[in-house]
Amino acid sequence: MSKHDALLKAADSVLLLVDIQEKFRPTIAGMEALIDRSEILVRSAMRLGIPVLATEQYPKALGDTVPELRERLPDKQAYFPKLRFSSYGCDALRQSLEASKRKQVLLAGIETHVCVLQTGLEMLAAGFSVYVVSDAVSSRSLADREAALRRLEKHGAELITSEMAVFEWLREAGTPEFKELQSLIKQASR
């Protein structure tokens, strides 16, 4: 990726929510903050016309995507069930992503060292620009989370925050979108 390609572009972005499921709530470090940051990303993406994809790891046992995110997504939202750890290994998700013709993928979700890591590495290998939203990913262990972030960055993923994503998608203040999302941006600064 050249330095000129590093900035996010709303027209080339996809937000991928990786396995942010109810059964993980009691076990993931910082889960409530992760959900809050993911909600900011979802609301911003929806307002800016950025596709949102969501996977669910073995939903029969681990449950649905958390209600805080489900209520922000459209009724027709597809949730891609999977057994493979990598979301990119889910045929239906991969086809949906490729059909979008977008090359910048923002990853939020859990667990950073398993599903997020394997998704990011496979997407990098497939030629996507991968942006891991560091304040919207976690694991049961913070040591596992940190090791996964270092590994993803070493292999070419960009580490960003939810606030960085929203500002890069917006690009400028004073627009109707900025005015609408301003409260989310302030919330992201807390």
Residue 76's alpha-carbon distances to 26, 53, 93, 100, in angstroms, are 28, 12, 15, 17
115 as an active site residue: the answer is yes
How far apart are the C-alpha atoms of 147 and 153, rounded to whole Å? Answer: 10
90 as an active site residue: the answer is no
Tokens of 189: 């600064």
19 as an active site residue: the answer is yes
* Residue 51 neighbours by CB under 8 Å, 6+ apart: 14, 15, 45, 100, 102
How would you label 103-142 residue by residue, b for 16+ Cβ within 10 Å and e otherwise?
bbbbbbbbbbbbbbbbbbbbbbeeebbbbbbbbbbbbbee
Tokens of 43: 């609301």
* Residue 49 neighbours by CB under 8 Å, 6+ apart: 10
Give the active site residue among 36, 90, 103, 115. 115
Give the active site residue among 82, 90, 103, 135. 82
Give the active site residue among 19, 36, 90, 135. 19
Q: Which of these, 190, 104, 138, lies nearest to 21 by C-alpha position? A: 138
So which residues are the catalytic ones? Answer: 19, 82, 115
